[in-house]
Amino acid sequence: MKQKKKKKKSHVPFRVNVLFFIVFMLFSVLILRLGFVQIVYGDDYRREIERTEDITVNNPVPRGKMLDRTGKVIVDNTPQNAITYTNRGAKQDEMLEVAENLARLIEKDTSKVQERDKKDYWIIKNPKLAEKKVSDEEKDKLKEKLEGKELDKEIYKLQLDRITEEELNELTAFDLEVLAIYRDFSSGYALTPQMVKNKGVTDEEFAVVSENLQLLPGVDTTTDWERYYAFGDTLKSVLGNVSDDGLPAEQLDYYLARDYSRNDRVGKSQIELQYEDVLHGQKAKVKNVTDKAGNVLETIPISEGKRGKDLVLSIDMELQTAVDKIVEEELKAAKSKSGTTLLDRSYVVLMDPRTGEILSMAGKRIVKKENGERVIMDDALGNIQTTYNVGSTVKGATIMTGFNTGAIKPGTTFYDTPVRIKGTPPKKSWKAGLGTMSDITALKFSSNVYMFHTAIKIGGGNYIPEHSLRLDPKGFNTIRDSFAQYGLGVKTGIDLPNEQSGFKGTGTKPGFMLDLVIGQYDTYSNMQLAQYVSTIANGGNRMEPHIVKEIREPLMDNGEIGPIIEEIEPKVLNRIEGKEEWLDRVQEGFKKVAQEPGGTAYSSFGAKGKDYNPAGKTGTAEAFYDGPERSKYGKEPPEVINLSYVGYAPYDNPEVAIAVLVPWAYQGSHGHYANRNIAERVLDTYFELKKQRQSGTANTDNSTEDQKETDGEKTDQE
């Protein structure tokens, strides 16, 4: 018999059931635990979540200082009393109440309160009267078109428009002070201190506000800083300035994107602006832990602040002060001469031709005030921001252009007699009968005619007296490109904003090309002249001028200068084209200008036996006036003479280059020699100061009469 096989009982369902039971129990425990946490600890956790709202606040720090090359502090920070307000979630009526209380304790300047501010404040103070400004019928019509915020905005606009001048005049002087304070209160970020008053806070105001802080929630007394200029107005226009009331509106987005706060003060111009990233420092950061109501529960420091880094300038302030004095004295002296009605400014740059460091950058301008009084103001920026026809100082570049184009060769001669082109007045040198000129003597005696013939050759022309002259217009570009190698007609690259490159004449008549090579067509800045003569002095390297020499860590507690972070290295922008012996001839011509009888600067240097071995080139340009009084002269501007001088010393090992520019110096065929007087006195001062420092003495007064031109002295100026 076949036996039936027994079926084996499966254990799988039993195991699955056990697994389901375990999962069920775990979920039950989890649900019970979640319920317990929610019921027993729910409020605690909810409060914990609500209270951990973090807001990071940046606190400003003092800016870095500026020092001169010898370590003297030029720009510093001075502490001053200040009153601030921090909005910790206060409502409008609460801020107004605090503003009123504070206005009773301090005097607040109201000059920045605008008409719109007054209208807003009037509505706040007179809500019922403001409500009546818009009738119910008008509101109903507006509701047909608008709703929500747009409706409220349009009603508010109508209220503003209908506030009368008489109603605004009802605001008292006290109301305006309250408004000015409230305006500051409401302009800042939450939990960020906003400056209410930081200038002219008296000790009494500081004390009484400090004593009443419990009645002034959000208000605090603290110490702020203010920029201090150790040398007064000297070089002030170049140093720049800092904003008074936080970030400039026109650059708000730029700075906010870079982690600035609205109440941060930043550089607005020149060095302060150019080196803002270095000077502004590392702000202190604190984290405010608040609840949802905005109440601060805890303040946690994140990082300590650090004052901005210090700048060491290439400027020598002792030299700068002396140069400023010379420029002012000579400007006054020249202004006392006849024919100087339009004279109002003068500029000087001293530059190390080996490194491009600016040793002194001086400028003075006579300004007429509203009351008619004339005062002399600092205008050092005029060295880079204004351009003029400079005259014969550019002739060194003209000679080198002639060499490079093959128009002339070393030793090429031309006979100096007026160039007579058909249909135009004769074009001649400053003095008749100069005779046969070579490249070197043309520089020494400042022969215009030599430069004219060089330009004619560059332009591919054939000069025949009393005939028409045709020149290839491409010659203009050839000359300008060559001049640019020396820095003429292009930006020098100085580390200051808003440098001007100058004006290039648009006409292409042959006579304009002749004017171009003697500096009487295109315009150049005095800084360009300094770069140009430095390029000649150092053997052909166009150095980038710079006014910042080093960036250093902040001054130590003991007053010592901090360690160097970055040193501004000399930068060669380009090497000029041409042979070394060609440049030697230009240098020789410049030496003869200053040191040999007949040279156009001989009476200022060689005749007086200057022991610092100078070389240079004078310039006298016939130009047209384009200054602040231009509107008085109708369509045709008056003709004027611009004076200039470029030079360097010692000739055999140049350590200083100088450029002097006196625009609109005089009218007429004869005048003063302020350009040479300034150059002589400034170079004398530079080398005298050097000797004094080597011997340990100190006296830079260089105003003796033997260094000035006398009215009756015979001049050899071209």
The catalytic residues are 392
C-alpha to C-alpha distances, 202 to 101, 175, 344, 356, nearest whole angstrom: 17, 22, 41, 46
Instruction: Tell me the C-alpha distance between 601 and 605, whole Å.
Output: 6
> Does residue 189 sit in helix, strand or coil?
coil
CA 550-556-560 angle, 5° bins: 70
In 170-269, alpha helices (H): 173-186, 203-211, 236-239, 252-256
Beta strand extents in 563-651 (DSSP E only): 564-567, 572-575, 615-624, 639-649
CA 546 – CA 69 distance, rounded (Å):
13
- Give the three-state DSSP class for 512: helix
Residues 528 and 542: their CA atoms lie apart, in Å, by 11
H/E element holding 335?
helix 317-335
Any idea which residue has 């060499």 for tokens? 403
Angle at 683 between CA 679 and CA 685, to 5 degrees: 120
CB 364 within 8 A of CB 377: yes
Sorted by sequence, the CB contacts under 8 Å of residue 479 that are 6+ apart come out as 398, 401, 455, 458, 513, 516, 517
C-alpha closest to that of 676 among 623, 624, 718: 718
Give 446-463 as a DSSP string. T-HHHHHHHHHHHTT---
- DSSP symbols for 249-281: GGGHHHHHTTT--TT---B-SHHHHHTHHHHS-
Distance CA 541, CA 485 (A): 9
User: C-alpha distances in angstroms, 142 versus 148, 152, 158, 499, 551?
Assistant: 11, 10, 11, 54, 62
Task: Please identify which residue in the block is written with the tokens 């001053």.
Answer: 80
CA distance 558 to 224: 22
